[in-house]
Amino acid sequence: MTIMPELELREVDATNWREVATVEPREDQRGFVATVPYYLALCHYGGIWNPVGLYEGDRVVGFAMWGVEKEDDSRWIGGLTIDQRHQGKGYGRAAVERLIAFLRDEPGCSGIALSFPPENEAARRLYASLGFLETG
């Protein structure tokens, strides 16, 4: 039996952005995600995305951002990155499960969506196993 990590979502702010910005994917994943500093800039200047650090205890293990689709009030998960030092330990699944639980509790949430490059088979399998349906 695999024990899933307990992850906490923490808003990225002036107190923790530097440690969150150090999150880096594995080399073979860099074509699928942008750098966390780039995502943080999108969150700060784009007016759409909300950044969260993914923490296990006091240790940052990843990053994600979420936003609201104004047309239908659905929530979007974007920029999910698990640090290369913490890969293969269940953090990706735990992060998506934690994000789903958090976003479902958002007032007015009509659904949850995400996207991934079609060649990212690991993401495809993970998201399908969590109930996401591909729409093209």
SS3 content of the chain, % helix, strand, coil (to 5): 30, 25, 40
Write down the catalytic residue from 39, 55, 91, 127.
127
Is the pLDDT at 122 greater than 90? The verdict is: no
Average per-residue pLDDT for the chain: 91
Q: Give me the torsion for CA of 69, 73, 77, 78, rounded to 10°.
A: 10
Which residues are registered as beta bridge partners of 52? Answer: 11, 64
pLDDT at 5 over 70: yes
- Whether 127 sits among the annotated catalytic residues: the reply is yes
Give the model's pLDDT for residue 2: 54
Q: Is 100 helix (H, G, I), strand (E, B) or coil?
A: helix
Give the per-residue pLDDT at 116: 86
Mean pLDDT of the region 93-119: 92
**Residue 135 pLDDT > 90:** no
